[in-house]
Amino acid sequence: MNRTPPLLLAFHWLFAIFMLAPLAMVALVSFTDKGYISMPFNGASWRWYAAILKNGEFIDAFWRSLILGVTAATLATLLAVPAGMAIAWHRFPGRDAILGLLLSPLMVPHVVLGIALLRLLTQLGASGTMWGLTAAHTVIVLPYVLRLVVAAATGFDRTVAQAAQSLGASPWTVFRRVELPLIVPGVAGGWIIAFINSFDELTMSIFVASAGTQTLPVKMYNHIANTIDPLLASVSTVLIVITLALMIALDRFYGLDRILAGKPS
């Protein structure tokens, strides 16, 4: 086996340290015993983790972001699967225009989208409502699911579906028993990426959310705009640990390469 050159190995380690150092610094600051951001500190304390439990607004914002992310990612997936299959498998007038329209939220700055969606939702009387925020997040995350669905469907062998049809299977049976299982890695990967982007969305949410529908990123942004304390470091550390645990679980039971790269099972 060829050994990795020392310089390349050193570069990999330096790159990993560069990526992980900010996360480690946030985690260390979260254990400070002082009432302000301090590093290094004299003594370690769970003070700011206990403060999370005492701050119901952050907990409510977390659950709101979680429910919003799951709902928006699921709605985006339900829209992206038929659209992606049609775009990948059929040629029809306006196909490229429809694909460009569905992917356009990737090209438009989220500040512009936030202002536009705020104007639209205000006209519909849905500004500041949870369903208006859900619709806005669905628009934002739809392109992420669509891209992976189109990629998975493009590599799909259509002769398998044709063989099922020749044996008498109905179109719904072909979709449910043949087509969907073979593109499900792309669908699952798209759902996960959509959920992450919805949960982490800040710029657009600032315009669309109200005081009663603040997501966790908006709540954190408003908190740090008014005061600077280690509470946000402890909240961020909890999110880092939850994300790491989920990634390890997914890799252990299914494989991140299958989900994020759309590889078949």
Where residue 1 falls among pLDDT bands split at 50, 70, 90? very low
Q: Across residues 255-262, what is the average pLDDT?
A: 62
Write the DSSP assignment of 29-98 as a string of letters: HTTB-SSS--SS-SSB-SHHHHHHHH-HHHHHHHHHHHHHHHHHHHHHHHHHHHHHHHHHH---TTHHHH
Q: Is the pLDDT of residue 75 over 90?
A: yes
pLDDT for position 137: 94
Report the C-alpha gap between 203 and 111 in whole angstroms. 6
Q: Across residues 234-263, what is the average pLDDT?
A: 76
Where residue 259 falls among pLDDT bands split at 50, 70, 90? low
What is the rounded average pLDDT for all residues in the chain?
Answer: 85
pLDDT for position 44: 79
Q: Which of 148, 126, 88 is nearest to 209 (CA)?
A: 126
pLDDT for position 262: 52
Q: In whole angstroms, how far apart are CA 219 and each of 117, 135, 150, 209, 226?
A: 20, 20, 35, 10, 11
Where residue 78 falls among pLDDT bands split at 50, 70, 90? very high
For the stretch 8-61, pLDDT in tens is: 888 888 998 998 888 888 888 888 888 777 776 677 788 888 888 888 888 999
Tokens of 48: 């700011």
Percent over 90 (pLDDT), the chain: 18
Q: Which of 64, 215, 222, 73 is nearest to 137 (CA)?
A: 73
pLDDT for position 68: 94
Residues recorded for the chain: 265
For the stretch 98-124, pLDDT in tens is: 888 899 898 888 899 999 998 998 888
May I ask the CATH class of domain 55-260?
mainly alpha
Task: Mention every residue, 6+ apart, whose C-beta is less than 8 A from residue 73.
Answer: 141, 145, 191, 192, 194, 195, 198
pLDDT for position 42: 74
Q: What is the signed CA dihedral for 205, 210, 215, 217, rounded to 10 degrees? A: 60
CB 261 within 8 A of CB 251: no
Q: Which of 22, 54, 49, 66 is nearest to 243 (CA)?
A: 66
Report the C-alpha gap between 15 and 24 in whole angstroms. 14
Where residue 69 falls among pLDDT bands split at 50, 70, 90? very high
Residue 244 zone, left/alpha/beta (φ > 0; ψ -120 to 50; rest): alpha
Where residue 227 falls among pLDDT bands split at 50, 70, 90? confident
